[in-house]
Chains A and B, each alone.
Chain A
Amino acid sequence: MTAVAMTVNGKPVTGDVEPRTLLVQFLREQLRLTGTHVGCDTSQCGACVVHIDGKAVKSCTTFAWQVQGANITTIEGLAEPNGPLHPMQEAFRENHALQCGYCTPGMIMSAVDIVWRKGNDLDEKTIRHELEGNICRCTGYHNIVKAIAAGAKAMGKGA
Chain B
Amino acid sequence: MYEFKFHRPTTVRQAAGLLARQEEAKLLAGGHTLIPTMKLRLAGPKHIIDMSQIEGLSGIEMKGRSLVVGALTRHVEVATSPIVKENIPALAELAGLIGDPAVRHRGTIGGSVANNDPNADYPAAVLGLGATIVTNKRRIAADEFFKGLFETALEPDEIIVRFQFPKVNKAAYVKFPNPASRFALVGVFVSKRGSEIRVAVTGAGSNGVFRVTSFEEALKKRFGAKSLDGMTVPADGMSSDIHGSAEYRAHLVGVLARRAVAAATA
Which residues of A pack against B, CB within 8 Å? Answer: 2, 18-20, 22, 41-44, 46, 49, 52, 55-58, 61-63, 65-66, 110, 113-114, 117, 130, 132-135
In the bound assembly, the distance between CA atoms of A41 and B35 in angstroms comes to: 10
Q: How far is the CB of B120 from chain A (nearest CB, A)?
A: 14
Which residues of chain B are near A46, meaning CB under 8 Å? 100, 102
| 8 Å CB contact of A133 from B3, B48, B103 | B103
- A61 with B106, Cβ < 8 A, contacts A18-B3, A20-B3, A43-B36 known: yes
Question: Is B150 among interface residues, defined by CB-CB distance under 8 A?
Answer: no
B76 nearest CB neighbor, chain A only: A55
Cβ B101 vs Cβ A20 within 8 A = no
Give the top 9 A-B pairs by smallest Cβ distance, nearest first.
Answer: A133-B100, A132-B100, A55-B105, A56-B102, A19-B6, A58-B102, A61-B35, A133-B102, A43-B36
In the bound assembly, the distance between CA atoms of A20 and B41 in angstroms comes to: 12
In this complex, how many residues of chain B approach chain A with their Cβ under 8 Å: the count is 27
A66-B52, A132-B100, A133-B100 provided; 6 other pairs, C-beta below 8 A? A42-B181, A43-B103, A57-B102, A58-B103, A58-B106, A61-B31
Which residues of chain B are near A2, meaning CB under 8 Å? 6
Which residues of chain B are near A22, meaning CB under 8 Å? 35
B5 nearest CB neighbor, chain A only: A19
B106 nearest CB neighbor, chain A only: A57
Which residues of chain A are near B182, meaning CB under 8 Å? 44, 132-133
- A133 with B4, Cβ < 8 A, contacts A19-B48, A66-B50 known: no
